Structure formats: C-alpha cells, structure tokens
Amino acid sequence: MISGTSMDGIDVAAADLSLIGDELHLRPLGTSSVPYPADLREQLEGAMPPAATTAEVICRLDTRIGQVFGEAAASFLHGPGSGAELVVSHGQTLYHWVDEDRAFGSLQIGQPAWIAAAAGLPVIADLRAADIAAGGQGAPLASLFDALLLADADGVRAALNIGGIANVTVVGRGEPFAYDTGPGNALIDAAVRHLTRGEQSYDESGELAARGEIHQPLLERLLEDPYYRLSPPKTTGKERFHLPYLQAALVEVGPVRAEDVVATVTAVTARTIGDACRSHGVDDVVVAGGGVLNPTLMTMIEEELADTTIRTIDELGVPAGFKEAYFIAMIGFLTANGLPGNLPSATGARRPAVLGALHQGPRLFEPPPPARTAPTRLRVVDGSA
C-alpha cells in the first residue's frame, strides 16, 4: 500500500511472492485505488512545505491517514487480498529532508497500528529510514525492483517512474544506479489546481498542456534549478517543487497564459527526463506511474528521446499505475525473509539494509528463518492484475 507524492489516494496491490533459488517470483493478484476524502487531501496539502504546520496537525494526520489506509486494507482483504499474511505500508510522505546531496530523514505518516487493527494482520512500515541511516538517500526505493526486473536486459535500459516526482533506474552500465530526475506531475498538478481555482486537480489527458504553447523564458528559468546539475545519487520532493516555487518563477518572467504555464511545466518534466536518459546512453525506456496517462507528456518525452524505444511496464506484466504498490509488496517480502530491500549503488547507502519495522496485529506473525540467498532477478508470473 502506498500513497505517492501526488497525494491523490492509496494504491493497493496483492501479490503472491516466492523465492526460488536466486529468482524472485511475483504473481499479481489484483489492485485497487482508493481516493483520499477531499477534506483529508486538503489538510495534507495545507501541511506540506513551504506551509507552516504544527505537531498537533501532524499527529492528527498521522492517525487519520492510518485509519484510511486501514479501511482500504480491510476492504481489499475481502477481495484480491483474501488470504494475505502480511500488509506492507509505505504511508504518505510528508517531508523528505535533503541538504544539498545528503539525506538526513524522510517522514512517512499513516500510523501502522491503525492499519494492523483494521486489517487484523501484521504491518511492515517505515521503509526508508534504514537506508538513510546507512548513508543513503532513502530513495528511489523502486531501484531494486527495477534492477531485478531488468536484470536480463540487453543494452542500456532505464526504468522510469513518473509520479509527483520522476525517477529513473539505469541498468546495463556497470552497477545499476537510480535517482530522482526532478518533478514528474508535481508542478503540473500545482499549476492546474491553481489556475483552475481548484476545479481540476490534474491535467486530465494532458488537455490543458495540449492547448498551450511552451513559454521559452519560463522554461529556461525553471531549468536553471541547481538540482539538475547535482550528480547522482540525489533525491527531491514536493518540499522543493511546489506552487510557490512556480509562482516565484512567474514573477520573474511576467504574465503567461494559463495553458502556456501548464504546457511549459509539462515540458520541464519531459526535458529533465530526456536529459537524464540521454546522458546515460539509454537504448530502451520502460515507463510506469501516473504520468503514463498524460498523452501530451508522453509525446513530449518521445520527442526528447526520438532514437530510444519507449514502452510501458505493462508489457512486462506489471500494471503501470500500480508499479509502486507492487514494489512495496516486494520490499515487505524481502524484509520478512531477512533480506535487504535497498540497492546501495542506487541510493548511495554504504551497505545493504533490511528495511522497515514490523507492527504486530491481532494475529501474530512469525517471520520465517532468514533466507540464505538474495534474489538476482525478478520474474512476473501469470496472474490477474
């Protein structure tokens, strides 16, 4: 279970996982997406940087999100998740603390005790802290999933996820590595919500961007952000790419039509993704995340990477909109079996780390003996997703 940086709701996926030798088998069993109640999403957005907040607000949100996650888990257990032994919750990222090129903490809220109580199952949560304590960025956590899934690929291949923030994992150039390329949907969503006075929360089917034109001075101003010049490993979040950030740029360049603003921030996402993939000589890009549903964004990425094969992760058996939920399930399986869930060459950690903490539910969970062999590849086997 995960709510990403777009903060639009909870993605839930059920999977049957097994380790056979050094091959991890994942059988998708089903998915669900549960929207946040409108008032909860509004409260979340009001607590996000650069807004000021209080310990009381964070405490209330931690409980409320835990309850909503718990309700989603309990409902799902009556369907595709029936027979589940373990719930794995990423929660909702409220703040990712990065100073220049070093991460010091990452706060995911959604109290797991509420989830365990509602689901009646043990819950693994707090998935990023161990990697950060080992010197890593705590992200992109999808990098291990990506590296295992693309382990047998020829050439240089990239796994691209476009959520609120876009991240890329590159395999085929020595040790796999990964990093956040910059905003995915974060600036697009912020622009649309503001310019439509809240009537739209995202650019559905990329229609606003398609009606606009790229405003070159605004594009150049946004691409000046020093984040893009940092070397990986590096991570970022909505604590950097938010509405006031965009408004500050607009003050400098002057008035810009609403449709042109949306087209331009969409181009920022496409350009920074294109720059990242070109810089590593990527031959093949496998795309996942909500950005796949924005045809204007996808067209811009295809134009940026005209000589590169671009396809969605659906072709590899994983639903593009639920990749993050499935990799969270994978991390939980690894943790339950005493195996590391991070990829040090991607996050920058000094060592592999077992991720997360176990919160027991009414039915106690007895972890199996630690596995002796870590997986070197991931195979998605037949299932209904």
Pairing of strands 284-288, 309-312: parallel
Alpha-carbon distances, residue 274 vs 176, 246, 298, 332, 372 (angstroms) = 18, 21, 11, 32, 40
User: What pLDDT score does 385 carry?
Assistant: 42
Distance (Å) of CA 88 to CA 110, 191, 229:
12, 33, 35
C-alpha–C-alpha distance, residues 203 and 250, integer Å: 19
Best-predicted range by mean pLDDT (43-57, 209-223, 363-377)? 209-223
Instruction: Render pLDDT for 93-107 as a digit per residue (tens, 0 to 9).
Output: 999 999 878 999 999
The pTM for the full model equals: 0.93
Topology, domain 9-144+322-380:
Nucleotidyltransferase; domain 5 (3.30.420)
Res 5: pLDDT: 80
Q: What is the CATH number of domain 147-316?
A: 3.30.420.40
Task: Specify the higher pLDDT residue, 124 or 367.
Answer: 124
β-sheet with 357-359: strand ranges across: 87-88, 123-125, 357-359
Percentage of the chain lying above the pLDDT 90 cut: 90
What are 14-73's pLDDT values in tens digits? 999 999 999 999 999 999 999 999 999 999 989 988 889 999 999 999 999 999 999 999
Compute the average pLDDT of residues 198-223. Answer: 96
pLDDT at 364: 85
Domain ranges within the chain, ordered by starting residue: 9-144+322-380, 147-316
Predicted confidence (pLDDT) at residue 112 exceeds the cutoff of 90: yes
Nearest to 208 by CA among 272, 268, 258: 258
pLDDT at 179 over 80: yes
Average pLDDT for 70-91: 95
Q: pLDDT tens digits for 244-298?
A: 999 999 999 999 999 999 999 999 999 999 999 999 999 999 999 999 999 999 9
Vertex 93, ends 88 and 99: CA angle to 5°?
Answer: 125
Using CA atoms of 320, 237, 285, 130 in order, give the dihedral in degrees to the nearest 10: -80
Same fold across 9-144+322-380 and 147-316: yes
Q: For 17, how many CA atoms within 13 A lie in the half-sphere containing its CB?
A: 26
* pLDDT for residue 205: 95
pLDDT of residue 383: 57
Query: What confidence score (pLDDT) does residue 180 get?
Result: 96
